[in-house]
Chain A
Amino acid sequence: MDVSQYLEIFIDETKEHLQSLNEQLLVLEKEPENADTINEIFRAAHSLKGMAGTMGYKTMQELTHKWEDVFSEVRNGKMKVTPDLVDVLFKGLDKLENILDNIINAGNEGDDKCEEIIGQLIAFVQNGGSGAAAAPAAAPKKKAAKASAEVAVATETKAESGDASKEKFRQFKYADFEQHAITKAIDEGTNAFGITVYIQESCLLKAARAFMVFKKLEELGTIAKSEPAVQDIEDEKFDLDFSMVFLTKESAAKVKEAIMNVSEVETALVAPLSKESVEAATVKDENAPSEAAAQTAAATETKPAAAQATAAASSGKPVVNRSVRVDIEKLDDLMNLVSELIIAKNGLVSLNAQQDEANHTAGNAMGPQIEYLERITTNLHQSVMKVRMVPLESVFNRFPRMIRDVSKSLNKKINLVISGEETELDRTVIDEIGDPLTHLLRNAADHGIETAEERAKTNKPEVGTINLNAYQEGNNVVIEVKDDGKGIDVEKVKKKAIDKGTITKEQADVMTDKEIIDLLFRPSFSTAEKVSELSGRGVGLDVVKTNIEKLGGDVEVRTVLGGGSNFIVRLPLTLAIIQSLMVEIGNEKYAIPLGSIQTIEDIPVSDLKYVQSKEVIHLRGSVIPIIRLNQILDIESTKGEDENLTVVIVSKGEKLAGFVVDNLIGQQEIVIKSIGKYIDSPKMISGATILGDGEVALILDVNTLV
């Protein structure tokens, strides 16, 4: 049997287990005595060992086995968790992650046999707790287990008749050729055993376990018959047990031990079969019909037993996880279909409007139906979007470990506080956001937080704090990385920028602090080799910015010298379909994402003021710069000079700006499409969309325009 079909499940589950190990180890580091955590780690290591063994990943199995050893000692109070041990365990965890990466990318475990880590773990087990006695202690235990197994086999053999209902192999009906093979083997002095193996109910890879059992047994002898047939077992067409007739030179105890070594095997019943019993159960060809009858009888017999077993087990069963794993590509397809549906719907809407106009009637029978359709497509879109949403937790949960490592290597005390990890984002965004965030967090730990001594001098608590916070704000998700470190020294940045020739002295003089800090996101800044000498950031911040902008988001910094910095990342909730305001400039139509629109104002030309020869308006206490879209987009405005201005007030974070447009068309749900390869996409255009009448309209990128 090929185990590759289980590879995906294996990878997913291993990832989950490794993540849980990571989290639990972090807890353990803080509370070395926490019994729940120790148990949790033991269980995770045990499951990992079993899974790795099933899949044939020897190094992984070996390593997790050692983990299990360590924690079994800890659990029994023979060993204490020390910081050294935690370090080695973390290293081991990294190895396991490497192995998993290798398995994912190369299909094998890689060459690293992890001997060093394994050796260290063994040393811990030997030296920890009751000293050198610990290691040998494990061996006798195994022997004892073996002995008890033998006893169990012996008693089972004696109590043969009593346990007959569980020993399903006794219900076997043998075909002629099978009987011949078995009796011939017995005549030759080989042992024939009837075996029934019960697999634990919690087992997920039943077929794989069965396969392991078969594999082990085939090392020891031959399987003469199995029930259900091998093919059915491979296809997982069996409940929790399977039976077989096994021919071997080995003893019953050895056979049993081999089976029990496969993890997640509940019990294995092994009993010798006599020539007579096999002969008695053999079905001769002539009474084939009765064979069928006997089989149905046997089947009905087994069924109630199975039913009983499940009934008995159901009381202790955990709540069934009512979820389905779906390939992201299928969701993409679904999203595309929804997009097309919305375009088609928009077509209907505009057709209907045209007809109304032509007939000079407001509303016909189509109207309500189209509105209904509109509601459905909007809901459908939202549902599909929700399906694609993943909580940020899956990204955030790797950070505590990272901060721990960084703080150890930098010798700083850092406390990472995570909140809002339940905030959800589109899967494609989640996949891409990990690296930029890692970068920001590293920066905060490396350049932001001061050393304990420095902190003491400035009357700050010894332990620095990094806050990682996520929340939803309108159509955006905001992620903040905030530290209480030393902040960014604007003067130093300015000096550096002038030195590097990024800006001239004259430019620097008129730049606001904010503009200076934004220089950190310039590509030229990241290549500086000694950036960390600056009080700030700058290492690869341009990459962070480009990555986030690729996702349609933006990043902003707020900093207080001596008080810390706050990097604010804003991301769109969804990438594919948005609500937008359609506007007209000249005779062209453009879409402005509704999420960034604050208000729409009608401004008399006389209200325009000039600040540094730029047009601004004064609106409810704030000064808002005016952007004449027709100039930026090279369009001739259809409006006269002295007509009132229609101004769409948009926001990017706290920054506001007013877009001057000629006409407002209305709100519309639009599907974002790329404007295609080969054409140079101007920065202020974030994409295109297809309107109801089949025309293409461009979508304005508020983030670059403001």
Chain B
Amino acid sequence: MLSFEELRVLLERCTETSGVSFYRNLYGMAPESPARTIRDLDDWTSLPFVTKDALIASPLRERLFIPLSEVDHLRTSSGTSGKPPLFSPRTFLRNMEYRFTYHDFKKPILSYTVPAMPHWHQHVQESHGFPARVVTFDPKNAEACVRLAKAAGADSMSLFAFHIPLVAEHMKRHGIAHRIRFIEIAGEACTKLLFEFMRETFPNATILPFYGSSEVEDCPIGMPCRPITGEEPLSVYHAKRSHYHELVDPDTLAPVQVISGAEGELVITAYPGEPSSFPLIRYRTGDIVRVVGDHCEQHGTWSFTVLGRVGMDFLKVPGGVLRADEIERVLRTMPERVSDRFELHCSEEKTLTGPKLKPILHVEIRGEVDLTTLAQDIARNLRVAPSFTYNDGVGKGRYLPLVCAPLGTSTHGKTRRLSMH
């Protein structure tokens, strides 16, 4: 992890009088005041956090530490609760050599644009003297992509976790699943069910988790301590050299001591070195993590696993995002049957074509309501993407049908509106 001295230099660099205004504004610094400095870690922990809301509120030009012409690409993450999307600049990925411990990347890789862009995979292959051969995965046209991957001789994949069942189905049909020797999975945490499905479908593959975030230029946030083997917890990470990780209580924001078993929200400082389009200082990731070991023997720092989102109000699903505010919107269109209070409990169910999302929506019913009809009506109107409803996803075999259940009185009060089990 970054040393105290490196954190001090980073803070001074990011708050220079003539520099980019983002951190100076965040810290409420007067226009002519000198760069902010710290004497000890107490000074460091007194620095305000960067939040996604603060990033959304700041135009890209006020966040860019390099000219736009030197940016590699932009990433976007959906604004939660109806907020506008956030565009995050990226330079090229660094500190990813650990992947070569598990795979040689001599042959083409089937890659989505997340966690790494196809052009980045090409760059990695070229920099190791191999032909730059990538097959870009298009989730909307998975079968076509698998055909291309077959012809190209792809032996590895880098995809979202929820893409896996879709790709597996086509790869099995084309008889190439056994060829896959490396799978990198990003997005939502890999469940036991998904891991077992992958183990059975891709028996020759090393499965490596990738924990990243659209807002963090210096991805991944956590380097995998080991591949997923079925040993719990499935995905274990540690910080990389260019990061500094802290844990805080998500309610009080007080520091949480890093000891085995401790849980808290992960706060990350990330600076990959130059060029850096946006050095990130004390960013609240919104992810709750649990410390697995306070000193990882192999990597020299503490290790952790990701438990879920703080106050989760969205859930990435194949083809889009299930959002709490969108559910609320749909419920408000049927006031004679339900109120806008709800809890969505999601889990996965094993099917012949892999694990699928199984949501149960607990709603506050008004009068006599047929829950089956209600669930169908909600699914027809519930958008997971601008032109894609939950019902469309059921029709395409991506999710199991939505089920409605009454909202129990015991669940009234301080509860999460969305939860994954």
Mutual binders A and B: no
Chain A residues close to B by CB (< 8 Å): none
